[in-house]
Structure 1
């Protein structure tokens, strides 16, 4: 050993040359050190006792929650307790409930003095909202995982249970906060949203996502871990609150029976509302860095995806979501569907037709406008008489309606205000070519019509859209809508798209256009570039047909197999074809009738035949016509035969056991188990496109597309009658 140094009994080397402390000083220092060490142990012990108390309370309260939910097992639910929190080494999920009502991630909180206000939750003076947001985040991640098996967004619920509480039904952001006496009823009331097959698929994925906790979480301590007795007897949650016993039932047997009966009696939701194809579920959740387009052939679930996407956007961002479409009556039907599909967010989604939306803008901005159908018709008649009557466009090849569409959809619908804009305009979707002289007359007709409207102090519906769009350009809206979802987007005009785009601009996920160019039944085609909208690289295609049988789709597709149309993205397209058709059924029935009376007789007979089938009633039948006259004739014949009827113009989506009768345009976006198409003329099907001139071919194209729309509304059966 080196000179000048030694080692004491504790192994610590000291230098002999160092000055040594007096004995009293050394003892005092050691006493202080030991006292400090003792105080540290006391603090650690106190922390350990507090932690043990918390775990003991949690154990008891979690057991109570599990006991409260146990009756759900009899209704087809699976209760997964003490699962690993995905992505965490130590955190656990109290309970994951999987069953017909969806997926519920349940976390029990033994909190006292809880207040909820302004979307925040406080425990005493402490804001504990972030604690619940971690649960919300887990639900969101789980939603993404389960989308891979087709569970629709919104069917995963974050539930915070307040131990020892009853009569609690609150929300903090996306988290549902309930008392432990209320949680059974809250889950059971969801009713049946998933079938057995869907529950099995979701359960299998949940077992992979939420792995079982093999043992207790490790405890970090320098002392031997104490052996704690199993909790028993009363556990005091907090001072001033009642003692709770694990074995004490939260609900009486009668209360449990009432809660379960409420769930069993809840109206079942169609499986397509809660369980999608994984491709559909991923599109619903997909984020686009700007305007996006979702397209697909008839029957591929575009409207379903549009509704789910609206609900998803409403859940994941602040502000309201606008769902709009051209058909005036469709928004009411869509609102009813969303009420069943996503009741938690239906109040944050606004449904309105494009014209209703435009009117509201003008009313709020104080812009005077007047719509009067009689005065509009009078203005058109006067303009035609002054300019077009006897001119080069006044021939038997086109009725006045054709030229009215040219003015309303091509000129006004595309926002043209100068002759130079129209002179060389590619008239997308209009096969009838116009020479310079014809175009000049059409433009003069437009100018005369505008003057007649002004002289009468009225506007037409195209003016209503243009005025609203101009208002939004003059003063851009701020924060009215966080997103806009457009169903049947192919039916809108260029100015309509510009108006809706103005609400959200190019914000991520701001504008979603949903539709199918094959189902375009209005003239006046345009490109999104004209509207100032780009969806480049932000498109999705649905290619599996879920609605129609193979037989129905094959029959309907014969009408449009050679059809070409101008797509809104600026290309000439032939229509999307589904890669899969999942269902098969009876062949469509096509009958040639001796006359109108024979057709009406056969129609009534067909209605009685299909409602005699098991699972089909009057409310499942749609009788569709190209014209209002056909609707009136069918309605009269059905009523005379004692068949209950509702006109599609008055149908708002509320289930009603009446045959739905209406024009094909009113049926867009709807579906029926059985469809009857009642005013077909046989020659419309037999005429060959190559033998027609451009005038008749354009007329034929639009008519066949409309019939295609009607036939593809049919889910199980199709009946077509011609004379």
Structure 2
């Protein structure tokens, strides 16, 4: 029976089609099996380079381009274009099977042939060519075929290769781009993630090639799945696993392991697929966790898209670390009596007043969290010898004694009143799990690992036995939005020799990524394991419009501008649920919601209860963590608002902490801006934030 595959690039384009055209596409391909069986609707393309291309009628004006196999039964939908454009597109192109990977490739033969003479003329005059130091054998080993090889041999500048990306076979272009960047053929092979040396593929078996091309093609199992894909084409990209990532997902590790990488490189996708892989290994439970409930909701949605089997999904618990801590705590003690932030502040102030201390409440709160709780300090002697990494204010022995006295009294008041904080609940839950011989989980997968505290890491360490594949973490310290400084080794997570890095951004355009990286330029960022992290080499293969930067005279003018921008995106065919708005402060989130509602734009706040997904999402920069949108507006990036003075330790109080706070705020703005896939608008009213210096 015939089956259907869909080019993932078409799924990028599908949301941009008019609603009426989308509906006709769905109708045409829901009946595709029947149409193919009877030979209806599929028409050959005259003067085609490849006689396997067919067109199928969508409307009188629109046609789909389908690749029909000579052997096998898989038909592949490549494009939906206006009638004449569809035929022109098909006439220019050729399908082939990559000799090294066995995957399907599409090339624009007309563009290659028309470009080649001009490049050859330039090459004749050039002193050197781009791939002079790579022999033909190595190029062929990487899947470069004769036509692409001839093209590569006349290239003299990487700019020429970049310009050819739109018409060369994608897998071959990736290999050439790696070589042009200075990688050896062996490094390029490792970067592409393939281990298919020496295997021969039938160049005419397109059905088999499509089946091997999970990086490019989506195989559709019947009309219901087709309808689901067309309903959520944008969501499908959130679980797309590139072949580069497959080896990490399927690897067997002797202990804990991690994957790092810049924004949009697919760390969350790897975490989802890793959870699925581990759940299929045995009947033990897998915990997929992160640091907020917003992110756990996104992870749960991803698993539903990824895993069809209810049995496999039931083996994966998705909950944030605080939920796990409270669950373990309640099983032993019942519900804790929690201090809220204002009550905790009042308690610290009472201690400071009673002891007449020269320390501020924020300083003591952070000393308690970042030193005492982080290192499980329980006595004055332990505190005197504790490391205070990241705590800039130096303390002498007398001052340390005063600080410890304050912390001891604070903790004593917690005990006397049977009060708890989320942190102390976590510490107690860890103690309870340490006592258990039977652990609740066989494997733990952690997403956004950089934002967990040392206490949370110790809780996770106690929730899983020490064994192969016990803890797998995905994160990027450049995206840390809280002040937790963690040494994985000190919390019992050993990943040395079991770390990998992702470098290709699959979410954000090169223009948005490049501009956003400027926010962090020159900032030293730790790697959670005793060294410094780097996102050098992080790149995007997608191109689009540069970020739009706008200044307004006041808040109301900026909100009016936001409404205009969002309306423009909607009018261009972007769905409301594919648009996000980020602000640093909650009050500006609420103002933005009111402004959009006033002009009848469907909108939902990420601050409150769950709202429908088919509305523009407005939230704080913190709430944007782990989310992504086709179009994103970051508003209120004004002086004194980003960052707010309340979030920054004064320079004269603690220089090191001041710089640490500023670095955290840069990372927060960086995170917000890189939530956008295609279009980013950044605005402010009055003077702009100093974080934008040099970027406007």
Q: Structure 1-normalised TM-score?
A: 0.61
Match for residue 705 of structure 1? 667
How far the C-alpha of 1:638 sits from its partner, in A, is 2.3
The one-character-per-residue Cα deviations of 1:309-335 (angstroms, maximum 9, x if unpaired) are: 111111222222110011122112210
The one-character-per-residue Cα deviations of 1:460-506 (angstroms, maximum 9, x if unpaired) are: 1001111110011111334x322110001111111211221223233
How far the C-alpha of 1:443 sits from its partner, in A, is 2.8
Change (3 A) 1:701 1:424: farther
Match for residue 443 of structure 1? 404
Paired residues of 1:99 and 1:199 also in contact (CA < 8 A)? no
Within the candidate set 380, 383, 395, 1:422 is matched to: 383
Within the candidate set 582, 596, 599, 1:624 is matched to: 582
> Equivalent residues in 2 for 1:336-485 (5 A)?
336-344=301-309, 345-364=312-331, 366-374=332-340, 377-387=342-352, 393-394=358-359, 400-478=361-439, 480-485=440-445
How far the C-alpha of 1:381 sits from its partner, in A, is 0.7
Paired residues of 1:488 and 1:514 also in contact (CA < 8 A)? yes
Q: Report whether the alignment pairs 1:669 with 2:626.
A: yes
Within the candidate set 224, 248, 251, 1:262 is matched to: 224
Change (3 A) 1:426 1:284: same
Change (3 A) 1:414 1:96: farther
In structure 1, distance between residues paired with 2:202 and 2:572: 47
Change (3 A) 1:199 1:299: closer
Paired residues of 1:645 and 1:658 also in contact (CA < 8 A)? yes
How far the C-alpha of 1:424 sits from its partner, in A, is 4.1
Paired residues of 2:337 and 2:418 also in contact (CA < 8 A)? no
Match for residue 645 of structure 1? 603
In structure 2, distance between residues paired with 1:424 and 1:337: 45
The one-character-per-residue Cα deviations of 1:541-586 (angstroms, maximum 9, x if unpaired) are: 1111111112211221122112123331122x25323443211211
Change (3 A) 1:660 1:441: farther
Match for residue 512 of structure 2? 552
- Give unmatched runs, 5+ long, in structure 1: 1-66, 82-94, 101-144, 152-196, 213-258
SS of alignment partner, residue 646 of structure 1: strand
In structure 2, distance between residues paired with 1:623 and 1:285: 36
Change (3 A) 1:287 1:309: same
The one-character-per-residue Cα deviations of 1:101-158 (angstroms, maximum 9, x if unpaired) are: xxxxxxxxxxxxxxxxxxxxxxxxxxxxxxxxxxxxxxxxxxxx9999699xxxxxxx
Match for residue 612 of structure 1? 571
Change (3 A) 1:263 1:513: closer
Within the candidate set 455, 480, 502, 1:495 is matched to: 455
Paired residues of 1:198 and 1:275 also in contact (CA < 8 A)? no
Q: Report whether the alignment pairs 1:583 with 2:542.
A: yes
SS of alignment partner, residue 264 of structure 2: coil
RMSD: 4.1
Match for residue 534 of structure 1? 494
SS of alignment partner, residue 333 of structure 2: coil
How far the C-alpha of 1:531 sits from its partner, in A, is 0.6
SS of alignment partner, residue 278 of structure 2: helix
Change (3 A) 1:393 1:704: farther
In structure 2, distance between residues paired with 1:579 and 1:703: 21
In structure 2, distance between residues paired with 1:450 and 1:508: 38
Match for residue 115 of structure 1? none
Paired residues of 1:674 and 1:716 also in contact (CA < 8 A)? yes
Paired residues of 2:262 and 2:538 also in contact (CA < 8 A)? no
- Give unmatched runs, 5+ long, in structure 2: 1-32, 43-55, 57-65, 78-98, 106-168, 174-195, 204-220, 687-696
Match for residue 696 of structure 1? 658
In structure 2, distance between residues paired with 1:425 and 1:348: 40
In structure 2, distance between residues paired with 1:716 and 1:304: 19
How far the C-alpha of 1:77 sits from its partner, in A, is 9.5
Return the index of the structure with the highest Cα Rg.
1
The one-character-per-residue Cα deviations of 1:294-351 (angstroms, maximum 9, x if unpaired) are: 1111121111111111111112222221100111221122101110122223232110
In structure 1, distance between residues paired with 2:370 and 2:416: 22
How far the C-alpha of 1:607 sits from its partner, in A, is 1.6
The one-character-per-residue Cα deviations of 1:167-198 (angstroms, maximum 9, x if unpaired) are: xxxxxxxxxxxxxxxxxxxxxxxxxxxxxx99
In structure 2, distance between residues paired with 1:98 and 1:430: 61
SS of alignment partner, residue 276 of structure 1: coil
The one-character-per-residue Cα deviations of 1:602-649 (angstroms, maximum 9, x if unpaired) are: 2222221222223x1221111112222232222232223332222224
In structure 1, distance between residues paired with 2:353 and 2:484: 20
